C-alpha cells in the first residue's frame, strides 16, 4: 500500500514540464515527510520514524516542553556522467514534531536506530504508573 501524496504528482508534472521546455529540474534541498508509527503500551509511547538511507549521525532528536522533535537529512549525491531519468527516493531534509501528553516523561527519552528505523521510547511518568497497594490485615 502506497501513501497518497498529492504534492508528489504536482512535483512530477512540474519536472516533466521543465524538461520539455529545456529547463533543468529543481535543484537543492527538498523537504519530505517520512512515515511514522506512534504506539502506546505499558512501557510508554513508542515513535517509529522510517528513515531508509539516512546516516544515524545526521538525525537530531529534541525533547522539550511537551513536544518531541525529529530532524534529519538525506542529501542527494549527484554523480557526474550519469543521466537521471527518475528519482523517487526520499532525499532532502525533514523535521517533524509531536505533542506529548504530560503522562509521559520527556526527560527520559530513549533513542535507537536500527535498519533505517529510528525507535523512540518515551516512558510513562512515574506518577501515572499504576501502583499496587498493600492491604493491611488487622
On the question of pLDDT at 89 being above 90, the answer is no
Calpha distance 120→44 (Å, rounded): 10
Domains of the chain, CATH where assigned: 28-128 (2.60.40.790)
Question: Rounded CA gap, 59 and 130, in Å?
Answer: 34
Angstrom distance (rounded) from CA 45 to CA 39: 6
What is the average pLDDT across 60-75?
91
Q: Find the mean pLDDT for residues 64-86.
A: 87
pLDDT band, residue 17 (cuts 50/70/90):
confident
Which pLDDT belongs to residue 127?
A: 73
User: What confidence score (pLDDT) does residue 107 get?
Assistant: 93
Residue 87: the pLDDT is 77
Confidence (pTM): 0.68
Residue 104 has pLDDT above 70, yes or no: yes
Amino acid at each position: 500500500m502506497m501513501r497518497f501524496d498529492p504534492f508528489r504528482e504536482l512535483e512530477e508534472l512540474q519536472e516533466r514540464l521543465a524538461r520539455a521546455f529545456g529547463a533543468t529540474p529543481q535543484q537543492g534541498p527538498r523537504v519530505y515527510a517520512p512515515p511514522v508509527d506512534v504506539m502506546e503500551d505499558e512501557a510508554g509511547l513508542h515513535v517509529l520514524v522510517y528513515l531508509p538511507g539516512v546516516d544515524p549521525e545526521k538525525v537530531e532528536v529534541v525533547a522539550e516542553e511537551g513536544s518531541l522533535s525529529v530532524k534529519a537529512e538525506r542529501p542527494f549525491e549527484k554523480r557526474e556522467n550519469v543521466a537521471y531519468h527518475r528519482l523517487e527516493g526520499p532525499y532532502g531534509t525533514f523535521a517533524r514534531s509531536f505533542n506529548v501528553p504530560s503522562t509521559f516523561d520527556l526527560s527520559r527519552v530513549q533513542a535507537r536506530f536500527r535498519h533505517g528505523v529510528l525507535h523512540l521510547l518515551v516512558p510513562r511518568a512515574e506518577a501515572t504508573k499504576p501502583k499496587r497497594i498493600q492491604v493491611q490485615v488487622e
